[in-house]
């Protein structure tokens, strides 16, 4: 049986180990943010300095934008249906059924559409960029590019980040549109209403300030997704296992930061546009 | 500043490189004359590939000097370094072809970024380059559709695209069957004879190196332990040199 002195020593050593682990996590976290900051600064410098990689930018816009469109539209449509079904019952209970179009429009345009788009793109594009650049890193393709006197921060990272920034607001419009259509469809099956009337009722009290800031806040989501995924991909180490880790961490971190950024941006939008 | 025409194209002096506590290069010095091919030998993981990456600026050195075509490259900014890199061709160990581009696009990549030649001229040049390594029949193929030896040939064509005067080879014959390895060795020899290129070849293939190199350099514990033609290395009394040559033959 341990004596008081030895159990005290044990407790102290446990506390020291805990403190060391905490410090290590903290240090790793700060280092990660520091390196991300340096990476973003380097990508920004590369992006603004000529020559511009327009061909690669258009190619990335196609991969990130056009190829994500069906998934984003489907996610938006599902959100519209769920919103319609859920709010339909609730509003009937409170005797406010006529407000259903407005609730769906407000909900989709102001929050559901942008966030769903951000998360879907974080999943599809984040994983894609993380895995692609990770694979290029471990097979020395990024080194080969640098050895060919081509800046990989400009050619690979800046084009992908910029394409994410440009495409997210457009994809949000697609998610909003399909959400509204399917929201109306789900509603009209239970309680027939023409699409025109649905839109008139829905948009009656919607202003541009309700629509523009939430749609364009997704450009920030695009910046986060592109920067985090490129950063995680370009710092990959350790062969195929490292590529898997890069893809996973790109999705997890970009999704997490999209949600956190949304909290800040919603507060900011409310402060600026009420 | 050293006159570019008279200075050896590659001059490495007292170069140091460490990763954490591990010292990889410990004050290494190596000068490679114009048209000379030097084979760099040594055990795996002793920093041969690191030496190549320091020469082309893919990694920063801790201290020491690297002069390429008479120009000191340590401390150059990215734009200046890219100008130096245009005069160096690099063949990576696994060829490092861009796997989203075809063979033709891989070779055209440096040309499309650094030259203003027309599309037709670029295509012609790419075909010439691929023809010179015997790969002009695989223009439309993706890198994953060709063998390792073919990938190295395409990598070599890409390394030659900007007509460099220096070539760096990172284990060009590793992982290849003896016949393909001999073919790659023959290509290196042809380049040396036809283009008078200055080259450093990191290799474990002493037999191949004997054919294409003018001088061999054996790296051990971060520095050059022995150098000279193979016959000279074989006269060495140092136990490591004797052991290395015995185990490699």
Smallest CA-to-CA distance from B230 within B217, B220, B240 is with B217
User: What pLDDT is stored for residue A191 in this prediction?
Assistant: 82
Residue A57 CA to residue B20 CA, distance in Å, equals 38
Asked if the bond preceding B87 is cis, omega within 30° of 0, the reply is: no
Structure confidence at residue A2 (pLDDT): 52
CA distances (Å), origin A193, targets A50, A87, A175, A201 = 54, 16, 22, 11
Give the angle A147-A152-A157 at the CA atoms, nearest 5°.
170
Q: Which two tokens stand for residue A223?
A: 């910046």
Q: pLDDT digits over B169-216, tens only?
A: 999 988 888 888 888 888 888 888 888 889 999 998 888 888 889 999
Residue B4 has pLDDT above 70, yes or no: no
The residue among A140 and B138 whose pLDDT is bigger is A140
Intervals of chain A under pLDDT 70: 1-5
To 10 degrees, the CA torsion angle through A237, A240, A242, A248? 150
DSSP B213: -
Q: How far is B195 from chain A (nearest CA, A)?
A: 20
Question: What mean pLDDT is reported for chain B?
Answer: 90
Contact list, B109 vs chain A (CB under 8 Å): 148, 150
Q: How many helices (H) and strands (E) does chain A have?
A: 13, 0
Closest CA to A149 of B180, B161, B240: B161
pTM, 2 dp: 0.87
Distances (CA, A) of A21 to A24, A35, A253, B20: 5, 21, 21, 21
Given a cut of 70, is residue B31 above it in pLDDT? yes
Closest partner CB to A150 (pick from B88, B94, B113)? B113
pLDDT tens sequence across A128-160: 999 999 999 999 999 999 999 999 999 999 999
At residue B162 the predicted structure's pLDDT band, cuts being 50, 70 and 90, is: very high
Minimal Cα distance from A148: which residue of B?
B110
- Cβ A251 vs Cβ A123: under 8 Å: yes
* Order of strands across the sheet that contains B10-19: B22-32, B10-19, B63-68, B71-72
- Report percent pLDDT > 70 for chain A: 98
Q: Contact A141/B85, CB-based, under 8 Å?
A: no
Which of A59, A141, A145 to probe by mutation at the B interface, max B CB count within 10 Å? A141
Kindly state the DSSP code that residue A97 receives in the 8-state scheme. G
| φ and ψ of A113, to 5 deg | -60, -55
In whole angstroms, give the CA distance from residue B112 to residue A198.
53
Q: pLDDT digits over B54-94, tens only?
A: 999 999 999 999 999 999 999 899 889 999 999 999 999 99
Q: Integer distance in angstroms from the first to the last C-alpha of chain A?
A: 66
Q: Inform me whether the C-beta atom of residue B88 falls under 8 Å from chain A C-beta atoms.
A: yes
Contact between A43 and A139 under an 8 Å Cβ cutoff? The reply is no
Phi, psi of B165 (to 5 degrees): -100, -5
Query: What is the DSSP code string of B138-200?
Result: -TT--GGGS-HHHHHHHHHHHHTTT--SEEEEESTTTTS-HHHHHHHHHHHHHHHHHH--EEE
Task: Report d(CA B44, CA B64) in Å as an integer.
Answer: 23
pLDDT number for residue A262: 95
Q: What is the pLDDT of residue A243?
A: 95
Q: Within a 10 A sphere around the Cβ of B239, how many other Cβ atoms? A: 8
* Cα dihedral across residues A83, A85, A86, A91: positive or negative: positive
CA angle B35, B40, B45 (to 5 degrees): 150
Which residue carries 């048209």 as its tokens? B35
Q: Residue B9, SS3?
A: coil
Mutant choice from A134, A137, A147, A158 vs B, greatest count of B C-beta within 10 A: A147
Q: What is the mean pLDDT of residues B88-111?
A: 94
């Amino acid at each position: 049986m341990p004596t008081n002195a030895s159990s005290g020593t044990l407790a102290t050593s446990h506390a020291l180990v805990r403190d060391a682990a905490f410090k290590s996590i903290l240090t790793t976290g700060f280092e990660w943010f520091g390196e991300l900051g340096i990476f973003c600064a380097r990508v920004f410098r590369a992006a603004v300095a000529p020559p511009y990689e327009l061909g690669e930018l258009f190619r990335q816009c196609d991969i990130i934008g056009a190829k994500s469109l069906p998934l984003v539209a489907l996610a938006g449509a599902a959100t519209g249906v769920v919103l319609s079904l859920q709010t339909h019952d609730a509003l009937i209970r409170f005797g406010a059924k006529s407000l259903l179009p407005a609730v769906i429009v407000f909900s989709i345009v102001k929050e559901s559409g942008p966030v769903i788009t951000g998360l879907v793109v974080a999943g599809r594009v984040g994983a894609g960029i993380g895995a692609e650049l990770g694979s290029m890193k471990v097979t020395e393709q990024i080194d080969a590019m640098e050895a060919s006197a081509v800046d990989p921060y400009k050619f690979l990272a800046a084009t992908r980040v910029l394409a994410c920034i440009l495409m997210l607001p457009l994809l949000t419009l697609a998610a909003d549109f399909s959400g509204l259509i399917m929201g109306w469809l789900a509603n009209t099956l239970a309680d027939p209403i023409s699409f025109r009337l649905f839109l008139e009722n829905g948009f009656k009290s919607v202003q541009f300030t309700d629509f523009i800031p939430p749609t364009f806040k997704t450009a920030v989501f695009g910046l986060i997704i592109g920067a985090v995924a490129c950063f995680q991909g370009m710092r990959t180490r350790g062969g195929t296992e490292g590529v898997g880790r890069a893809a996973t961490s790109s999705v997890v971190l970009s999704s997490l930061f999209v949600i956190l950024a949304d909290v800040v941006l919603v507060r900011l939008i409310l402060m600026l546009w009420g | 500043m050293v006159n570019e025409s008279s200075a050896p194209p590659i001059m490495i002096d007292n170069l140091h490189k460490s990763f954490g506590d591990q010292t990889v290069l410990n004050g290494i010095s190596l000068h490679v004359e114009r048209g000379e091919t030097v084979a760099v030998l040594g055990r795996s993981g002793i920093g041969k590939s690191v030496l190549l990456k320091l020469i082309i600026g893919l990694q920063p050195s801790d201290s020491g000097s690297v002069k390429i075509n008479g120009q000191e490259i340590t401390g150059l900014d990215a734009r200046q370094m890219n100008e130096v890199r245009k005069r160096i061709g690099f063949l990576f160990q696994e060829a490092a072809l861009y796997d989203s581009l075809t063979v033709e696009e891989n070779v055209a990549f440096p040309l499309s970024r650094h030259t203003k030649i027309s599309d037709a001229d670029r295509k012609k040049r790419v075909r010439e380059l691929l023809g010179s390594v015997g790969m002009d029949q695989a223009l439309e193929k993706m890198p994953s559709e060709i063998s390792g030896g073919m990938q190295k040939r395409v990598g070599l064509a890409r390394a030659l695209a900007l007509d460099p005067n220096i070539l760096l080879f990172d284990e060009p014959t590793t992982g290849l069957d003896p016949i393909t390895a001999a073919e790659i060795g023959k290509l290196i020899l042809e380049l040396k004879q036809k283009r008078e290129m200055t080259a450093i070849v990191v290799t474990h293939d002493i037999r191949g190196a004997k054919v294409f190199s003018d001088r061999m350099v054996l790296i051990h514990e971060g520095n050059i332990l022995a150098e000279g033609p193979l016959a000279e290395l074989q006269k060495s009394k140092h136990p490591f040199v004797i052991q290395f040559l015995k185990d490699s033959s």
